[in-house]
Structure formats: C-alpha cells, structure tokens
Amino acid sequence: MRILKIVFCFAGTAVFIMASFCFAADVAKIGVVDLQRVLETSGPGKSAQAEIKKQKEKMEKDLQQKGTEIEQIRQRLERESMVMSKEMREEKEREARIKLNDFKTLQKKYRAELQTLEQKLVSQLREEVFALVDEMGKKGGYLLIISKIGVLYSPNTIDITDKLIQQLNKRYAQKTGN
C-alpha cells in the first residue's frame, strides 16, 4: 500500500513536470498597437491631417465668402424694398432664396468631399500600417499583434506602437525623399 502511494506520487509529479515543459516550450509573443497614436504622431498621419485641414480651410473660406454675399443681398433688399415695385421685390427675394439654397447645397457637397478625402487618406494609411504590422509580426516572431482599441489592459512591454511609428516614418521619408 505504501509502495502504491509512492508510485502514484512519482507518477503525478512526472505528469506535472512534463505538462509544465509542454506549456513552457512555446512562449507566445504578443504585441499591441495604438492606431490612434500612429495617426496622430507618424509622418504619414500628420501629412494626412495637414491635407484634410488645408482642404477644410479652403472650403470654409469659400463658404464664408458666399455667406457674406448672401448677407449683402439681404441687407440691400431690406434697404431698397420700400422703393421697389412689388414684382421687383419678389424677384429679388426669389434670387436671395436661390442663392441661399445654392449655399446649402455647396455646404453639403463640401462636407461630403471632405469626408471622402478623410476616408481615402485614412484608408491609405491603414493599409500601409497593416502591411508594416504584418512584416514586423513575421520578422519579430509575434504570435499575435492586436489593436489597442477594445483592450482594457496591456503592459507597456508589449506595446510596439513606437517601433511601428519609427518604421512608418522611415518608409515615408524614403517615399517623399526627405
């Protein structure tokens, strides 16, 4: 009986040791990337944001100019409405409404164009980042690289965002010749 206990104890210990070797043999290397930080701090991300900002300012300037024209037409209409004939006043009011509708249409068009530009630039950056992440994952022997979005906790030791940004900036500099 005593020998049976000793055999079971040794067998259990042997199974435990073998199991721990099996699990310790392949350590999973995991990386985390903060895509928002890549967009905000990388060269290509800053370039995309600058392009979007430039287009937005240009559109806002144009809309402001059109808005000023409409306001001037309204003010002139108010001043001169007393001396105009009814038909002339109705014609000027119709012209003002048409200009206002044109303004609103242009505003919607600019908003859609800006959104399309933003989606295009972010999509291009995302494709570039994903290709680089794939390359880094293969070269670095990572089992898994995940986006920080949705991750509630991750130690800083597995965050590879800075490495990714450095590689992305290096490629961007080569592309643009800087």
Quote the pLDDT of residue 98: 92
Burial class (CB in 10 A: 0-12, 13-18, 19+), 77: middle
The structure tokens listed for 133 are 């992440």
Residue 132 pLDDT exceeds 50: yes
**Element holding 147 (H helix, E strand):** strand 144-147
User: How far, in whole angstroms, is CA 52 from its chain's centroid?
Assistant: 12
Alpha helices, H only, 28-85: 35-41, 43-80
Is 143 strand, coil or helix? coil
Q: Which pLDDT band, with edges at 50, 70 and 90, does 52 fall under?
A: very high
Predicted local distance difference test score (pLDDT) of residue 154:
77
pLDDT digits (tens, 9 = 90+) for 4-46: 455 444 444 544 555 454 444 456 888 999 999 999 999 999 9
Kindly list the structural domains of the chain, giving each domain's residue range(s) and its CATH number in brackets, ordered by start. 2-176 (3.30.910.20)
140 close to 101: Cβ distance less than 8 angstroms: no
Helix 86-140 with 43-80: angle, nearest 10 deg: 170
Assigned token pair, 91: 């014609």
Confidence of residue 1 (pLDDT cuts 50, 70, 90): low
- Token pair for 163: 């490495």
> What is the distance between the alpha carbons of residues 89 and 48, in angstroms, rounded to a whole number?
48
Whether pTM exceeds 0.85: no
Q: Spell out the residues 6+ positions from residue 46 whose beta carbon is closer than 8 angstroms to its own.
A: 40
Q: Which two tokens stand for residue 68?
A: 């000023």
